[in-house]
Amino acid sequence: MANSATILGCEGSRLGAGEAEFFREADPWGFILFSRNVDSPDQLRRLTGDLRAAVGREAPILVDQEGGRVQRLGAPHWREWLPPMDQVARTTPEAMERGIYLRYRLIAAELRAVGIDANCAPTADIAGSDTHPFLKNRCFGTDAETVAKAARASAEGLLRGGVLPVVKHLPGHGRAVVDSHLQLPRVGAAIDELDATDFVPFRALSDLPMAMTAHIVFDVLDPERPATASADAVTFIRDGIGFGGLLMTDDLSMEALTGTLADRAAAGIAAGCDIALYCKGIRAEAEAVVVASGRLSSAAAARADKALACRRSPDAIDTALLEAELEALLMGQVHG
């Protein structure tokens, strides 16, 4: 039987017997971790091992480790990173891609060391003058070319480190002027404008194994529903952008969406998303999401298998050497 069409969060830093039994029965395709689940490297290795043991397989374990404001693993055990846009600003255009590659290759090493093998990055949204602050400096830049190059470099760094990238947020979040964690953003731009800007990086990254939708209404695609819950928007992601990989919803707990969590999950799957992402780790809510999401469809299962086939053993690196090179790139721009 196919796995549940879900990625689920867990409650805390340890997996209790009751929670493990729930995961065994629910059989989510994967798991996602947050700061509430993170204490120390040893603890995190135990937790990731216990999660996989609960479902009896090498299930993917995801985290949001962009660096900057969004990183679930932080000091004192893990590196603290500049926001992505700040790092781009501190390197020369010639060195930017190398610097971003090094950043995410080092992040991948940290994640793999504790059993995490998927990262909800890169963010391929384009920042604009009105982009909401919750997102703005998480972007790589303000033009499509810079964002596409940096996002590709970050994905390559993750993949070479044995970590699957999850590109986000399709088909583009940069024009949002409200925080989709709290409100539903709406984009009224014409298709020609979007084709020339917002959609460009995602087309350039359409070969990546996994991606995440945006909880945003695009009037030109579907004026009634956010992309996550819109069959028209998901069809555009597939056919207009050309993304053929595993497509997951953004977190169903976000208040841009309406209805119960079961309603939200069912709407995302009905729209054509392969996986429903529920992050909070509240048992009753997770149970409702599992029931509403059902099992992976045959097409979704094929895309899931193809994504997992991209997992690889990390290339060997000299961590100190890569750290020194990245620091030199950053300092070189700071000092002109």
Query: Which residues does the annotation mark as catalytic?
Result: 181, 250
Strand positions, DSSP E, the chain: 4-9, 28-33, 61-63, 65-67, 70-71, 118-119, 164-170, 186-187, 210-213, 217-218, 246-248, 276-278
Q: Residue 138 carries which DSSP code?
A: G
* C-beta separation of 80 from 43 below 8 A: no
CA angle (64, 66, 69) in 5-degree steps: 95
3-state secondary structure of 283: helix
Helix (H) or strand (E) holding 116: none
d(CA 326, CA 320): 10
d(CA 50, CA 15): 7
Residue carrying the six token digits 């729209």: 271
* Alpha carbon 118 to its chain's center: 8
Q: How far apart are the first and last CA of the chain?
A: 59
d(CA 283, CA 28): 13
3-state secondary structure of 139: coil
* Alpha carbon 40 to its chain's center: 22
